[in-house]
Amino acid sequence: MTQHRQAFALPPGAPSIDQMIAAERRRARKRLWTGLAFMAPAIAFVAIFLLLPVVFNLYASLTQWAKFSGLNQFAGLANYQRLASSPKFFDATLNTMIWVAVSFVLPATIGLSLAMLLRGVKGEETFKSIFFLPRMFSATAVGVIWYYVYAGDGIVNSGLRAIGLGDLASRWLYESHLATPAMIVTHIWQQVGLMMVLLLIGLNALPSEPMEAAKVDGASRSQIFRHIVLPLLMPTLIMVTTVSVLAGFTSFDLVWVMGRDFPNRSTLTLSVNQYWESFRAGSWAYGAAIAVVLGIIAMSISWSLGALQHRLDKR
Amino acid sequence: MSATTFDLATLDFDAIARRNDQARTQRILLFAITAILALAWVTPFYYLAISIFKSNAEYGLGNPLALPTSITPVFENIAEAWSKAKMGSGMLNSLLYGLVGGGAAIFIAALASYGLTRIEFPGKGFWFMLIFSGTIFPLQMYLIPLFMGYNKLGMTNSRIGMMLFYTAVCIPFPVLVLRNYMAGLPREMDEAARIDGCSEFRIFRSIILPNCWAPMATLFLIQFTWIWNDLIFSMVLTSREDARSLMNGLMVLQGSYANTTPNVVMTATLLASLPSVALFLLLRKHFMNGLKLQSL
Amino acid sequence: MQKKLTKLLAAMALGMTFTATAASADPVTVFHDKPFYQSGWDGLTATAKEDGIDLNFSAYATDQFQAYIQSSLMSGEAPQAFTWWNGTKLKEIVDSGQLAPLDDLWAKKIASGEYDASSAAPFTVDGHIYGMPTGLNRWVVFYNKALFEKAGIANPPATWEELIAAADKLKAAGITPFNASIQDGWRGFVWFQELLLRTNPEAYALLNQGKLKYTDEPVKNVFKIWNDFYAKGYFTDPASQEEPLDFARGKGAMYLFGDWVIGLVEKGGMKAGTDFGAFIMPNVDPSLSNNVIVEGAPIVITKAGLENPDVVKFADWYMSEKAMNSWATDPGLYAGNLKAKTPNTIITDIAKIAADGKYNSVTRYWEASPSEIVLPAVEEFNRFMTNPSPEAADKAMANIEAIASQYWANHQ
């Protein structure tokens, strides 16, 4: 400020510096209020319907909650202790971890293979639409369709019998070692189209010079792919992986619909376990604790992948 | 491309022809692989498509992939699915939630993005992070509190309640996209109007908004389909038929066995999916643009 | 163009909101999780219209229904009339203080000779009656007459030995004796409760009161028999999606279930009485007392409902001969009204057998044990049925006992 005073020689009759500062302050205040007015609806909606619930969920997970009368006392970490000793929670967590592990690797890999396969193939656009089509169906609809696909005499089993592999025909959605893999296959069938399109966008945005240069130097296709395309594509791959992992283990609709007959439905995934314990069995506070665990897993995944992305960006 | 001139004599024409041949067989092979994969991909849809033409007896017998013997059962299936799943009111509800929830969310997001990009004021980063934090929690963390809160306020089973929530949950992502987009619009556009003494809302409405129509339309498509396809929130926040969404009705139909046979459930599934699939096929370009937004 | 479009969309949305609210007049709405009685509910609605009562039945999937009722009771916004279960499940919601006792209505109906006081027993909690029956359903064994004949079985089995002999004969004729599945996730307890009741009725009562462990000898014995039956191939594939239709299609010759399934089997093309009959499962030891499982599914009314004259009028009408005649026609259920016609010969026959043999009515496991134990226990039963083995049985018993002992430790 002092520098300003020295720098300018004020013309006579102009407002004094103090007046100008006051006017600028008024304008700044007005800008603040206008800006906030523009943001107010968004802030209000997000705060009331999204952030407040998260806070309340955290609080509820620390209470005791009687089935028909509501939450009534603070209970510290009792719900979390119950989690730690529950075999169902353990099974559900294990299955959820399978979802996480598989969706880390498979959707992006298959999506990338499809993207590479599709590039330049005749009828690329049509194929793209075909692979993307399942994504336009809701998870509920997909779940219903595949519930019948996996049925005793559904497509999968009759297909296996038709090609002489009848021994492999199974009760896909009934056995604990088959249900989760079967559902993951369905999930991948639905999601891979999205991964493929996202990766195609990424591939098309890559600069072509390095590849041309490598070709001139006589590098083979696989060498080009491994040493040039893959590193350049890394940011997109990480983004795709984040999307697929988060979509995978929090998915409820698909598992709920397909798991209708599974003997231990509440152990299928944490999201189903959470819905079951709260909305079906009435242990609301306990269900809130499961939701917190889900939140922690989700945030640690997106944070670590975000950090990885950040490090790549810096390089 | 380098523009060096070739000495024709150094070129091995046989090798080029061999390479071309190789390339052709390779192309055909790739096409065949892709086609087979695509065929496998659509098998469940084929199964869906033929099942709706089968009567229950026909479905129960024989090969699930066999073609139907006549197409007439489809009318009975549609009638039964339509009335049992209350698809009429379900479709209206889903349409209402999608239009209002998606539309309001994007308008509100555009307002917020305008504030974030066009008006200078302190603490912007904080407010942006606040809105953006609406995307980092898994949806499961909202279920119990929303359900309890709605119950307390008598808002379960109300259309208003559903629209309000869907609006809220659809705001953060468009804010992220539109903020980036609006930041890219030249400042000169609105500075002139501001000097002429236009109000900020006027500038927003008549200068900025018309320039954002394309990304907004795409965002609307994305959010509309999300709402249309959502099951869990409709399951938790509505249970009465009059406020129930289409997907919820479908789930009830599938869950209430005994007198709904697979052919009817499949018919309901197809009917429930037609609108969003048709939207996709008609507006494929917009959807693919939407994915570009997502990958930013 | 864009503006017009926006306006049009806004107008559509608004219009839909308003027409929708205007359309919901106020008929008496009964909430239920039994959509498989749809045509029966429709019949009631039509019959009620004749008497000037505007009725509406609103269907849910079971899980969602229970969540909805529980939470709406919590918020004090429960629907005024809805279906529920008897036993511990009824007591739970009576304890929430929001159900209306229907003692006066029952007194009136008993005085008029339409109902017997014993029909109110399943719905009585702490001396008050809290429900109107949608059914008083005995759990019996249905048998396919054609398949019995094919296997050379003359009469339905009257003793445990005859039951086993019949099963072996069926097996020898290439017919699976028993139809049983885990469809929809709740059926696992059906054979468990029956086998326990047939081997040790005292143990059944003690187990439900928390005075017997799931790892004790009587339960072990049940799992042993159950596992033997599976080992001998007595049961159909548990992974069925259409259990009642499976019985109608002849996939299993005998079918242990509540008599409310008769209508569903008939929908599959078999006629009750002519194509299939029923018997009460015999005790393993003939010296044991005569028992039969009875399920009483009530419609309950909340206190707010009792203040609504429309609901009161509906309740009185619902228990009438006319309404129950409609209910006996479709879905073919007997719900205690003595003047209404009996739905079919099977129900008449079984009622006679039960009366002649002085059978005690025993509450179903689903309603007799606390739901905190029943829900996880049923999952364990389901898992055992999917892959039956002695090891699976031991695991199931241990898992249920872990939950039960924890529950009873907190509730006694």
pLDDT-derived band at B232 (thresholds 50, 70, 90) equals: very high
* Alpha carbon distance B36, B47 (integer Å): 17
SS3 B201: helix
Q: Is C70 on the interface with B (CB under 8 A)?
A: no
C9 located within any domain: no
DSSP string, C338-352: SSSPPS-HHHHHHHH
Residues C192 and C94 in one domain: no
Expressed in angstroms, the distance from the first to the final Cα of chain C is: 71
- Smallest CA–CA distance from B114 into chain A, residue: A38
Residue C59 belongs to domain spanning: 24-137+295-355
CB pairs under 8 A between B and C: 80
Residues C76 and C87 in one domain: yes
So what's the pLDDT on residue C6?
A: 53
C204 located within any domain: yes
Output the 3-class SS for C202-236: HHHHHHHHCCCCCCCHHHHHHHHHHHHHHHCCCEC
Quick check: C204 and C197 in contact, CB under 8 A? yes
A260 closest CB neighbour out of C184, C371, C375: C184
* Partner-chain contact C184 A261, CB within 8 Å: yes
A228-254 pLDDT, tens per residue?
Answer: 888 889 988 998 898 889 888 888 999
Residue to test with chain B: of A30, A49, A204, most B Cβ within 10 A = A49
In this structure, the strands spanning C291-301 and C81-83 are antiparallel
Residues C111 and C29 in one domain: yes
Residues C193 and C283 in one domain: yes
DSSP 8-state secondary structure symbol assigned to residue C388: -
Residues C266 and C190 in one domain: yes
* Phi, psi torsion values for B55, nearest 5 degrees: -80, 170
β-bridge mates for residue A65, sequence order: A71
Residues C256 and C373 in one domain: yes
With a CB-CB cutoff of 8 Å, which residues 200-239 of chain C face chain B? Answer: none
What is the residue-level pLDDT of chain A in tens, covering all 315 positions? 444 545 556 666 777 888 889 988 998 898 899 999 999 999 999 999 999 999 999 999 999 877 666 666 888 899 999 999 888 899 999 999 999 999 999 999 999 999 988 887 888 888 998 999 999 899 999 999 999 999 888 889 988 988 988 888 889 999 889 999 999 999 999 999 999 999 998 888 888 888 888 888 888 888 888 888 888 899 889 988 988 898 888 889 999 999 988 888 888 999 999 999 988 888 889 999 999 999 999 999 989 998 988 888 776
C84 located within any domain: yes
pLDDT-derived band at B276 (thresholds 50, 70, 90) equals: confident
Q: What are the structural domains, with CATH classification, of chain B?
A: 9-75 (no CATH), 80-294 (1.10.3720.10)
C172-215 pLDDT, tens per residue?
Answer: 999 999 999 998 888 999 999 999 999 999 999 999 999 999 99
* Alpha carbon distance C324, C334 (integer Å): 8
Structure tokens that stand for B47 in this block: 């199964």
* Alpha carbon distance B244, B236 (integer Å): 10
Structure tokens that stand for C257 in this block: 């279930």
C400 located within any domain: yes
C239-260 pLDDT, tens per residue?
Answer: 887 888 889 989 999 999 999 9
Q: Is C1 on the interface with B (CB under 8 A)?
A: no
C183 located within any domain: yes
Cα separations (Å) of B195 from B119, B190, B198?
14, 9, 7
C19 located within any domain: no
SS3 A74: strand
Q: Is A284 on the interface with B (CB under 8 A)?
A: yes
Contacts of C69 in chain B (CB under 8 A): none
C71 closest CB neighbour out of B147, B252, B262: B147
Residues C228 and C282 in one domain: yes
pLDDT-derived band at B66 (thresholds 50, 70, 90) equals: confident
Quick check: B246 and B147 in contact, CB under 8 A? no
C75 closest CB neighbour out of B95, B152, B160: B152
Quick check: B265 and A144 in contact, CB under 8 A? yes
Cα separations (Å) of B226 from A32, A142, B94, B124?
34, 14, 11, 29
* Alpha carbon distance B141, C283 (integer Å): 51
Give yes or no for residue C281 having a pLDDT over 90.
Answer: yes
C18 located within any domain: no
CATH T-level topology, domain A82-314: MetI-like fold (1.10.3720)
Residues C274 and C174 in one domain: yes
* Alpha carbon distance C317, A57 (integer Å): 45
Residues C144 and C289 in one domain: yes
Handedness of CA C114, C119, C123, C124 (dihedral sign): positive
Whole-complex ipTM:
0.88
* Partner-chain contact C241 A261, CB within 8 Å: yes
C403 located within any domain: yes
Q: Is B286 on the interface with C (CB under 8 A)?
A: no
Give the amino acid at A26.
R
Percentage of chain B modeled with pLDDT above 70: 92
Quick check: A138 and B227 in contact, CB under 8 A? no
Residues C35 and C45 in one domain: yes
SS3 C337: coil
Structure tokens that stand for B291 in this block: 């994915």
Residues C118 and C195 in one domain: no
What's C370's domain CATH number? 3.40.190.10
Q: What total of structural domains would you count in chain C?
A: 2
A153 closest CB neighbour out of B41, B64, B254: B64
So what's the pLDDT on residue C22?
A: 39
* Partner-chain contact B266 A148, CB within 8 Å: yes
pTM: 0.86
For residue C142, give every residue at least 6 positions away whose Cβ sits within 8 Å of its Cβ, in sequence order, or none.
C247, C254, C255, C256, C257, C261, C262, C265, C276, C277, C278, C346
